[in-house]
A = this chain, B = another copy of it.
Amino acid sequence: MTDDRHIEDGIWLLCSNSAVRRASRQLGQLYEDAMGDTGLKGTQFSLLSQIARSGEPSLKNLAEAMVMDLSALGHTLKPLLRDGLVELVPDGSDRRVKRVRLTETGTAKQRELTARWQVAQDRFDRAFGKEKSEELRRTLAFISSPDFARSFGKGEAD
């Protein structure tokens, strides 16, 4: 081995941003592995699921829900549109607005993925503890909320 340096200490113990990104890389791997080859990535599953729950959300609303940049959402949907899992439909009253809808194929795929995803989530819950797992998700949801962004921003000019 080149270098058996212990990796105990790192910027991730000081920087919450680094810590979260690092964990998201790890979970990305673990979930992907656990879900097996579904042909879709974690983010794509999240998107399909959120679309399913939201009932034809506008791109704007979906982006907000996902805490994602609107243009990033647009880019990310491209492969899903290309593969016919989702489609964009113009809003009835506001011609600027486009709504996202799962196609039949998309709905089926989402259901199939959900079954596999449950396997991964069960493993997470078992490895981390069901209670703690729920608490963690609530914590992360709080950090992702506009409220948190607001109080974070408060430290601005005082």
Residues on A close to B: CB < 8 A?
A: 2-3, 5, 7, 9-31, 33-34, 42-43, 45-46, 49-50, 53-54, 57-58, 60-61, 64-68, 91, 94, 97, 117, 119-124, 126-128, 133, 136-141, 143-144, 148-149, 151-155
Contacts and interface: CB of A to CB of B under 8 A. Distances in A.
Residue picked from A19, A33, A53, A117, most chain B C-beta under 10 Å: A19
Nearest to A59: B2
Contacts of A21: 24, 27-28, 42-43, 46
A127 B153 CA distance: 9
Contact of A66 (B20, B22, B68, B119): B22
Nearest to A7: B65
A40 to B, nearest CB: 13
A152 to B, nearest CB: 4
A16 B133 contact: yes
